[in-house]
């Protein structure tokens, strides 16, 4: 227990859980208020958590431990990476509740309850320090998400719910077997201890594959990504936001926490598998996104492409790649969440997600068009927005590992610009050819309040990313140090590590000399 | 041989037998009026027998009967399951016009048989216990005399049960012939130094007979028909107590009698475990009757139990016992939920389509049912997950990694139909409005079982694990 005298992480878990229980026993409007209140309280606790986190302090802070479950313990604690992802969760949750304020009309108490339960589970995944506890939180998320998609989803919700559930379950059960084996081999279930335990390289291969089966589905990586577009299209708006914003980060978090530090040799061995799948994903899903007629599907495919850049960054085996991937995960959480909200705004008015049913919205919905443009640009990775920082760092890291992977993944940025701008042009610009779309009203106060914080956060992360990089830097460097012994050879021929200013100076002096020589000529 | 001591150790069986006889006389004289009193007394007798079990430990009558901690664990679990089956029954039989005192008495006799099964340390005790239980069970299955399906269930159960008993007996005679004894200890000793082919045949036949009793694939065919045809409280009973008894018996035979020939039976158990998991999952997908579906679910669960046995270690046996306890809670809870479903005419409903939209008409019932289904599917944070963890952990500990991987991957098949039930209750619109709720007993039992398998169950892990470890250590 480092800094504050009470179990703040347990509190973070308990508030939504209590809220979820209360929601079940009250009416619709009360349930909305309870849910909003609980998520806002959690957001405040989250800010306290961030404020009292000491980036230079112990690696694991706010540690709690109680041996009440026999073979495994209730052990919580976070490092900087977990802190950032918890912040993302508590930040997005009130927005999700706000987004479902009017859009969800049937069975509101159960809906709110499922969302709050979800929040507890996700925070639990990031905060768990016991591997069984982690698995319980990780898997349990299936239940509320299954219900959210299945009850409040669109037309084909049942197919999507089944697909989501069974796909992710099959991925995870293999991980369970690996976990059981690891706990036996290492003699401990504590994640911090497992992170520094050296498994035999031969065993690592299998363990890595078992974990990969689970994380690749959650991530999702090509070719096991197909549940995502279905789930996204069918889920209600807030469901999509939480799915894209938080749940997709579980896979990346798992790779950071388990695959890399626990199995460095296997990670190196499979680096090209990851790179290969990611390269295919970036190009293929971007092309698929280009031809989508459904807005949500388009954003869903763009999520797969962005996540592929995250995975190459993670397996670049260097500081920049990892930092960039984490920032890209945070950025994607904000931006794709915001884009889904933008779709939700027009969907609530016209009840269709078909792109061709809209057009010229910048005329009748100027404020909306501004926000939509901002988030589109952030998704493309325009400098000054959060997307740029993440993508640039991740790709710069990838370049150090493999120039080819970096080259191909960078085309994803170009294709990303293509499909994003194409979407924006068809929705916001052009003629107002649909009368009903032209009659839609601009953002309401509630919608403005949902989008504005996201816009603020995306800009903050783009303009001053140091606030987000500082807490994770030490933890990332520890991972990099740990995996350094297995680092694969790279094909990039980097110049000697000269500081930027110095390098600039050398170049300028050379230039000077040249001109001086030219003058004397 | 000290008879006094032996009688004390077999006290639970004595209490139940004599108590059952007395109750039978009461029932004979006062007819249907006494049904309620007899039911209550039967529960009281079960409690008394449970206490008696825990009071005395040791071997009785030479090496015929053992009152060790393993048998204590089995006894208590069986008595709890039987008592619950008694508590959920009265309303059901009243409505069918068959509220008779024979039901509790037959359950008591089945319990005597099951008690002997888990305590048997000799093939003869084993057989007598098994038959005593089975005879009571055949009658129970056809208890609804007026219902054709019930009569069919009873007959089917009887014919196939008799066949299985024959197989078992044949196996026992082979084992006896090749080892020269029916006592587990003696069999263990004489199998120790290598085994003749005849004895191997004996082991195979004994295991086949027992596989029938626990309804493991490929001896499972009777299960769906009997589960569907038998009156629902009886089905709940079949799915819980006799499963405990037969599994515990199989474990004891495998470890205590054939423990020196682990390799001979391990591959058989591995095969039937995987076959049960896969078939129990696949065959359930097309079912439209809830009771039939739960029959396949029980086959599926037996597969997971047998994975713990396949490990053959003390840890594996302990895992089997933990899984059994959780399974009993889940299955009794599911049946308590199903029994609350009645159509507008008051008749019990048990079709899958009947529960469509249940979450809108009866929130509590749908929630409890959803908890049981997710728990049976082994999804955390529900307690059914823990059962799976311990058996697979034991399998990994015994070096059976491929078994664990295949088994857990196949568990996803089963998950499909469990979440299908949740889908029906939560995603679909209701077609028929059901009258739900049927007395306080069912609601309370459903609620208590739901709490046990909810995440709160994790707090019981140290306690349950401790008991199971003690019980398992008695076998080694």
Per-residue confidence at B147, pLDDT binned at 50, 70, 90?
Answer: confident
- Which residue of B368, B396, B420 is the best one to mutate when testing the A interface, meaning the one whose CB has the most A CBs within 10 A? B396
Summarize the confidence of residues B402-430 as an average pLDDT.
88
Residues 58-77 (A) with a CB less than 8 A from some CB of B: 68-71
pLDDT exceeds cutoff 70 at B383: yes
Chain B residues inside the 8 Å CB shell of A110: 359
Picking from A318, A340, A336, the residue whose alpha carbon sits closest to that of residue A271 is A318
- Inter-chain contacts counted by CB atoms under 8 A, chains A and B: 83
CB contact under 8 A, A161 and B427: yes
Cα separation, A375 vs A386, in Å, equals: 10
Q: Which of A107, A139, A157 sits opposite B379 (nearest CB)?
A: A139
Cα separation, A219 vs A240, in Å, equals: 15
Backbone torsion region of residue A70, taken as left when φ is above 0, otherwise alpha when ψ lies between -120 and 50, otherwise beta: left
Q: What is the pTM of this model?
A: 0.90
CB contact under 8 A, A151 and B461: no
**pLDDT at position B145:** 82
- CA dihedral in degrees (A422, A426, A429, A431; nearest 10)? 140
Whether residue A262 contacts residue A233, with contact meaning beta carbons closer than 8 Å, is answered with no
Summarize the confidence of residues B57-80 as an average pLDDT.
89
**Does the CB of A180 have a partner CB in chain B at under 8 Å?**
yes
* C-alpha separations of B260 from A229, A438, B192, B264 in Å: 55, 82, 5, 9
**pLDDT at position A2:** 46
Backbone angles phi, psi at B436, to 5 degrees: -120, 170
pLDDT tens-digit profile of A216-263? 888 888 888 888 888 888 888 888 888 888 888 888 899 999 988 899
* C-alpha separations of B383 from A100, A124, A479, B88, B322 in Å: 32, 18, 35, 23, 11
pLDDT exceeds cutoff 90 at B83: yes
Picking from A36, A11, A48, A29, the residue whose alpha carbon sits closest to that of residue A94 is A36
Cα separation, B255 vs B245, in Å, equals: 15
Summarize the confidence of residues B41-53 as an average pLDDT.
92
Cα separation, A83 vs A123, in Å, equals: 10
Which of A256-265, B241-250, B347-356 is the least confident region?
B347-356
Task: Say how far residue B33 (Cα) sits from the centre of its chain.
Answer: 31
Residue A154 CB contacts under 8 Å (≥ 6 apart), including other chains: A233, A234, A235
Chain A residues inside the 8 Å CB shell of B412: 166, 169-170, 173
Residue B74 CB contacts under 8 Å (≥ 6 apart), including other chains: B114, B115, B118, B119, B244, B245, B248, B471
CB contact under 8 A, A177 and B401: yes
* C-alpha separations of B362 from A109, B259, B433 in Å: 15, 50, 10
Cα separation, B331 vs B369, in Å, equals: 10
Cα separation, B144 vs B125, in Å, equals: 31
Token pair in block for residue A365? 């919905």
Cα separation, B29 vs A254, in Å, equals: 70
Residue B102 CB contacts under 8 Å (≥ 6 apart), including other chains: B27, B139, B143
* C-alpha separations of B309 from A484, B272, B304 in Å: 43, 11, 9
**pLDDT at position A520:** 47
Cα separation, A376 vs A299, in Å, equals: 10
Cα separation, A386 vs B372, in Å, equals: 44
**pLDDT at position A99:** 85
Cα separation, A161 vs A444, in Å, equals: 31
Token pair in block for residue A232? 């996204």
Map residue A434 onto helix, strand or coil.
coil
Picking from B235, B217, B218, the residue whose alpha carbon sits closest to that of residue B226 is B235
Cα separation, A264 vs A486, in Å, equals: 6
Q: Name the interface residues of B facing A (CB cutoff 8 Å).
A: 359-360, 374, 379-381, 385, 389, 392-393, 396-397, 401, 404-405, 408-409, 411-412, 415-416, 419, 422-423, 426-427, 458-459, 461-462, 465
3-state secondary structure string across A465-477 = CHHHHHHHHHHHH
Residue A83 CB contacts under 8 Å (≥ 6 apart), including other chains: A49, A50, A53, A471
pLDDT tens-digit profile of A396-407? 888 888 888 888
Cα separation, B105 vs A129, in Å, equals: 52
pLDDT tens-digit profile of B276-292? 999 988 998 888 899 99
Burial B20-33 (b: 16+ CB within 10 A, else e): beebbebbeeeeee
Stretches where chain A sits below pLDDT 50 are 1-2, 519-521
Chain A residues inside the 8 Å CB shell of B404: 177, 180
Cα separation, A28 vs A438, in Å, equals: 32
């Amino acid at each position: 227990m480092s800094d504050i005298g009470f179990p703040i992480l347990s509190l973070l878990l308990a508030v939504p859980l209590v809220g979820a229980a209360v929601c079940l026993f009250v009416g619709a409007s009360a349930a909305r208020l309870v849910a909003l209140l609980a998520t806002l309280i959690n957001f405040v606790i989250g800010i306290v958590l961030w404020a009292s986190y000491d980036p230079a302090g112990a690696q694991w802070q706010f540690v709690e431990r109680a041996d009440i479950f026999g073979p495994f313990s209730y052990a919580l604690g976070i490092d900087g990476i977990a802190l950032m992802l918890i912040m993302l969760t508590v930040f997005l949750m009130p927005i999700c509740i706000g987004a479902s304020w009017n859009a969800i009309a049937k069975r509101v108490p159960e809906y709110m309850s499922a969302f709050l339960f979800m929040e507890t589970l996700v925070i639990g995944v990031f905060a768990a320090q016991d591997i069984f506890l982690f698995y319980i939180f990780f898997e349990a998320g299936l239940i509320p998400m299954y219900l959210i998609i299945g009850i409040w989803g669109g037309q084909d919700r049942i197919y999507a719910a089944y697909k989501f559930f069974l796909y992710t379950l099959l991925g995870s059960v293999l991980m369970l077997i690996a976990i059981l084996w690891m706990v036996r081999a290492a003699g401990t279930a504590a994640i911090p201890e497992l992170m520094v335990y050296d498994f035999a390289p031969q065993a690592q291969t299998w363990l890595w594959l078992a974990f990969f089966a689970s994380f690749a589905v959650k991530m999702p990586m090509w070719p096991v990504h197909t549940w995502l577009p279905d789930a996204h299209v069918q889920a209600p708006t807030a469901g999509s936001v939480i799915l894209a914003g938080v749940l997709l980060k579980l896979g990346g978090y798992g790779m950071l926490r388990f695959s890399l530090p626990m199995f460095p040799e296997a990670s190196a061995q499979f680096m090209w598998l990851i790179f290969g799948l990611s390269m295919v994903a970036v190009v293929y899903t971007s092309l698929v996104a280009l031809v989508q007629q459904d807005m949500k599907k388009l954003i869903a495919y763009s999520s797969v492409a962005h996540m592929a850049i995250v995975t190459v960054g993670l397996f670049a085996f260097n500081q920049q790649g990892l930092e960039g991937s984490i920032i890209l995960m945070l950025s994607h959480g904000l931006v794709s969440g915001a884009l889904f909200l933008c779709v939700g705004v027009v969907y609530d008015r016209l009840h269709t997600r078909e792109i061709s049913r809209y057009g010229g919205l910048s005329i009748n919905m100027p404020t909306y068009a501004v926000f939509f443009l901002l988030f589109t640009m952030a998704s493309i990775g325009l400098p000054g927005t959060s997307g740029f920082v993440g993508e640039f760092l991740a790709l710069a890291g990838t370049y150090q590992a493999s120039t080819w992977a970096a080259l191909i993944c960078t085309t994803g940025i170009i294709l990303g610009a293509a499909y994003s701008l194409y979407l924006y042009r068809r929705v916001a610009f052009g003629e107002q050819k649909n009368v009903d779309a032209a009659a839609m009203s601009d953002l309401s106060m509630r919608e403005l309040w949902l989008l504005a914080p996201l816009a603020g956060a995306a800009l903050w992360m783009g303009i001053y990313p140091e606030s987000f990089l500082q807490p994770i830097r030490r933890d990332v460097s520890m991972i990099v140090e740990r995996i350094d012994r297995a680092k694969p050879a790279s094909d990039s021929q980097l110049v000697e590590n000269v500081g930027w200013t110095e390098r600039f100076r050398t170049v300028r002096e050379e230039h000077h000399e040249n001109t001086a020589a030219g003058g004397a000529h | 041989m000290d008879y006094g001591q032996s009688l004390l150790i077999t006290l639970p069986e004595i209490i139940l037998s004599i108590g059952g006889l007395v109750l039978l006389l009461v029932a004979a004289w006062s007819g249907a009026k006494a049904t309620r009193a007899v039911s209550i007394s039967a529960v009281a007798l079960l409690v008394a027998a449970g206490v008696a079990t825990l009071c005395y430990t040791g071997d009785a009558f030479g090496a015929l009967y053992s009152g060790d901690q393993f048998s204590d664990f089995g006894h208590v679990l069986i008595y709890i399951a039987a008592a619950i089956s008694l508590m959920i029954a009265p309303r059901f039989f009243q409505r069918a016009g068959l509220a008779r005192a024979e039901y509790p008495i037959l359950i008591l006799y089945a319990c005597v048989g099951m008690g002997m099964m888990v305590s048997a340390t000799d093939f003869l005790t084993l057989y007598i216990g098994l038959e005593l239980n089975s005879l009571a069970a055949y009658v129970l299955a056809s208890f609804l005399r007026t219902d054709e399906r019930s009569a069919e269930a009873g007959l089917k159960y009887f014919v196939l049960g008799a066949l299985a008993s024959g197989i078992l007996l044949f196996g026992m005679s082979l084992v006896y012939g090749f080892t020269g004894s029916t006592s587990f200890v003696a069999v263990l000793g004489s199998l120790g130094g290598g085994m003749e082919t005849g004895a191997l045949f004996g082991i195979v036949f004994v295991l086949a007979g027992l596989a029938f009793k626990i309804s493991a694939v490929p001896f499972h065919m009777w299960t769906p028909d009997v589960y569907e045809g038998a009156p629902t409280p009886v089905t709940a009973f079949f799915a819980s107590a006799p499963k405990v008894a037969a599994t515990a018996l199989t474990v004891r035979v495998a470890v205590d009698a054939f423990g020196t020939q682990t390799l001979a039976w391990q591959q058989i158990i591995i095969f039937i475990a995987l076959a049960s998991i896969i078939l129990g999952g696949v065959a359930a997908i097309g079912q439209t009757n809830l009771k039939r579906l739960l029959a396949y679910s029980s086959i599926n669960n037996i597969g997971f139990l047998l994975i713990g046995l396949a490990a053959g270690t003390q840890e594996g046996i302990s895992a089997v016992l933990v899984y059994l306890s959780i399974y009993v809670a889940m299955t009794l809870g599911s049946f308590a939920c199903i029994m609350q479903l009645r159509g507008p005419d008051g008749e019990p409903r048990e079709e899958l389509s009947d529960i469509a939209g249940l979450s809108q008409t009866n929130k509590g019932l749908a929630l409890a049912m959803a908890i049981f289904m997710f728990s049976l599917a082994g999804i955390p944070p529900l307690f059914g997950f823990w059962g799976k963890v311990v058996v697979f952990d034991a399998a990994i500990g015994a070096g059976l990694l491929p078994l664990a991987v295949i088994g857990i991957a196949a568990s996803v098949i089963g998950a499909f139909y469990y979440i299908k039930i949740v889908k029906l209750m939560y995603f679909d619109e209701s077609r028929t409005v059901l009258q739900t709720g049927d007395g306080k007993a069912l609601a309370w039992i459903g609620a208590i079982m739901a709490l046990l398998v909810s995440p709160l169950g994790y707090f019981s892990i140290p306690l349950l694990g401790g008991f199971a470890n003690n019980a398992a250590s008695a076998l080694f």
